[in-house]
Amino acid sequence: MKTQAFKIRREGLKKIPNTFGIDVTAARLLEYSSEDELRELIAAGHVIAPWLHIGGGSNLLFIKDYEGTVLHSCIGGLEVTSEDEECVSVRVGAGVIWDDFVAYCVERHWYGVENLSLIPGEVGASAVQNIGAYGVEVKDLITSVETINIAGEKRIYGVDECGYSYRKSLFKQPEMKTVFVTYVNFCLSKREHYTLDYGTIREELEKYPVLNLETLRRVIIDIRQIKLPDPKVLGNAGSFFMNPIVPRQQFESLQQEYPDMPHYDVDAGWVKVPAAWMIDRCNWKGKALGPAAVHDRQALVLVNLGGATGADIVALSDAVRASVREKFGIDIYPEVCLI
């Protein structure tokens, strides 16, 4: 499996990697490739407050230079820890590129992560963010998360301790900033099964003669590439906004005015409404505010047209949110972390 191979950098101002392409620096950028190396950095006093631990910078928006320590894991590798006829358990380094992990699983016919193909970022960040797409959330595949805290102490959190919900986890809480993810443990199925009832998956699969993991991964990648811009070409952080979950009574009232409003039932009392649909209805798709714009093919995505600052992206976000609130009475919130 491919993993990033970085050198440890400890001196001077360093540019912080981020997929928005915002030109920001940190006072210190520390990169480590093992748990022991992280402990050595901590023991030597290199991790100076304030600090921030990042993955691939794919879910971050920096408003200004970071005046502290930025930590980045380069822990690689995948280890099969147990296996039977039904499932396989794997321990994956936090620095492994997420889509490399997905490809590895698909090649070995391990079921579960294929709908999460092409999501940017790294394995460690996937556990922090509880990434999800096309009817699958990573929390349903994680069994435990291994961490080391700022005192150099190791702790393993069982999935039930991780506080997972929609794009949330225990690790996103302010009090957990002293805890760094080092490995994530997953349980994947060896029995054939697929999650297909989301978006246009079934429609796209009709173009292929056979349904298997390779085909489904190809379809997911195709759908994402059509809708989402390549951050190497047009700076972005993928979906900028979370889909709001609203009371059913509020949704039913809106549905009377907007009969075509798409939705996904959460439970008897709550309904998830696609933020992209509302943003599109507010006529933001493809519109720019200075050097920042709403992507012309996916209204959830804000893009850097070139030279945008974090403040430019935030100004656009605030304008979009105000429009949605005024038209629908619904508040939408950034999925991206503002630093």
- Which pLDDT belongs to residue 337? 87
CB 240 within 8 A of CB 285: no
Cis bond leading into 209, ω under 30°? no
Split at pLDDT 50, 70, 90, the class of 163 is: very high
Q: How, if at all, do strands 66-73 and 78-83 pair?
A: unpaired
pTM: 0.82
Q: State the pLDDT at residue 5.
A: 34
**Sign of dihedral through CA atoms 279, 281, 286, 290?**
negative
Per-residue confidence (pLDDT) for residue 249, from 0 to 100: 95
Which amino acid, one-letter code, is at 19? T
Average pLDDT over the chain, rounded to an integer: 91
Q: Give the CA-trace dihedral at 182, 123, 129, 84, to 10 degrees.
A: -90
Closest CA to 334 of 179, 54, 129, 164: 129
> Residues with Cβ < 8 Å from 158, sequence gap 6 or more?
143, 144
Residue 286 confidence class, pLDDT cut points 50, 70, 90: very high
Helices (H), the chain: 35-43, 98-107, 123-129, 201-205, 213-227, 248-257, 275-281, 310-328
Single-letter residue type at 231: P
Q: Taking a C-beta distance cutoff of 8 angstroms, is the pair 302, 313 a contact?
A: yes
- Determine which of 15-19, 316-320, 332-336 has the lowest per-residue pLDDT on average: 15-19
Model pLDDT for residues 216-269, shown as the tens digit of each residue: 999 999 998 888 888 888 999 888 999 999 999 999 999 999 999 999 888 889
Average pLDDT over residues 294-317: 94
pLDDT-derived band of residue 115, with 50, 70 and 90 as boundaries? very high
DSSP 183-225: EEEEEEE-S------STTHHHHHTTSS--SHHHHHHHHHHHHH
pLDDT in tens, 118-161: 998 899 999 999 999 898 999 999 999 999 999 999 999 999 99
Residues annotated catalytic, as ranges:
167, 239, 335
Beta-strand pair 132-133/301-304: unpaired
Give the amino acid at 99: D
With CA atoms as reference, report the closest residue to 144 among 74, 84, 91, 94: 91
Sorted by sequence, the CB contacts under 8 Å of residue 108 that are 6+ apart come out as none
For residue 313, give both structure tokens: 């992206």
Interval 29-62: pLDDT, tens:
999 999 999 999 999 999 988 999 988 888 889 9
